[in-house]
Amino acid sequence: MVHPGRPIGELLVKTTATESPLEKLFVGTEKGDRLSASRLMTVLENEGEENDRALRSLYTREGRSFVIGVTGWPGVGKSTLISRIAKVFLDQGKQVGIIAVDPSSPFSGGGLLGDRLRFRSIDGSDRLFIRSAASRGHQGGLSRATRAFVKVMEVMGRDVVIVETIGIGQEQVDISLVADTTVVVLAPGLGDYLQAIKSGIIEIGDIFVVNKADRPDAEKAVQDTKAAILMREKAPWQPPVVKTVAADGSGVDELIREIERHREYTTNCADAPATKARAAIHEILEAIKNGLLKKYLEEDPSRGAAIEGHAQMVFQRHTDPALVAETIFLKE
């Protein structure tokens, strides 16, 4: 099913003969054209005036996909599992989009390239669209680009969008704010589940997967995960733990059933609009933060230099970033 995106705010969009190059990209994207969508994503990835205009226009377009976030530590089998999940939806005749948020992910290099070809040959059509989002290191870049990419896929008319992120580090996208359903993937033998709890990954899962269930210790990993979930604050949705072997596809049917069950739950649950509102609040706050920072740096060029001056001190472990920020503010 395709939902062609249409501009809501007519005033914001030119549809006359003097159509701008950017508008042309939007029109192509709304028709599901992959090249237009790809180019639009490139505009959205880079900074600049055109990026701002594209973002603004993007937010007024219609289109809604079911967004599944798949997160977990490196190497647990996220890409392999996503290939399996995507195949199930493709077999149902759906339009699927995949966004890989890490530049080192096999999606951007080797691994999924093979899957991509396999899907094309099974599918015989262009119903799978894969794009990786590489961090260019600019402010809020990665999470902003990811959200924008999801929206482009929605405008394209994708029924399902799957986003892969690595669940570690400062740069990680808060996937639970982007996704309707967040799947946290773990694997046996990772050892310290307390570490998982501390990293916050346990908090964000709607569904937990213990992948590589062909390995010894899979049952222990399931029990540890269940114990970790019990330590979460009580909520009406109890996250299930599913065992899979992404390598051969076992357990994937059950995972799909749980994904559908969660989707139904959020569709009917009174809490769902609040979740969307929370995500919007987060986006607004992030825009304010970025705007303030930009203004702060532009108002006085010496501020940038001062920050660079402190960088060495932080790098050499003589101080920490929060203390530097405090010192800079106190001085002013």
Binding residues vs Mg ion (CB under 5 A)? 78-79, 105
CB of 187 to ligand GTP, least distance (A): 8
CA–CA separation, 146 vs 19, rounded Å? Answer: 27
Site for ligand GTP in 217-246 (CB under 6 A): 245-246
Return the amino acid letter for 58. L
DSSP category for residue 166: E
Provide the pairing of β-strand 207-210 with 66-72. Answer: unpaired
Element (H, E) at 256: helix 252-268
Return the amino acid letter for 109. G
* 212 touches ligand GTP by CB under 6 A: yes
**Residue 245 binding: pick among ligand GTP, Mg ion, none (C-beta 5-8 Å cut-off by kind):** ligand GTP
Interacting stretch for ligand GTP, rule CB under 6 A, among 37-45, 143-151, 210-218, 222-230? Answer: 210-218
Report which of 141, 175, 185 is spatially closest to residue 68, judged by C-alpha positions.
175
CA–CA separation, 183 vs 175, rounded Å? Answer: 10
Pattern 78-97, binding to ligand GTP, x per CB under 6 A? xxx-----------------
Pattern 153-182, binding to ligand GTP, x per CB under 6 A? -------------x----------------
N residues, the chain: 332
Q: Which of 27, 247, 279, 306 binds ligand GTP (CB under 6 A)?
A: 247
Give the count of beta carbons closer than 10 Å to the beta carbon of residue 316.
8
CB of 100 to ligand GTP, least distance (A): 7
Q: Which residues bind ligand GTP (CB under 6 A)?
A: 72, 74-80, 105-106, 111, 166, 211-212, 214-215, 245-247
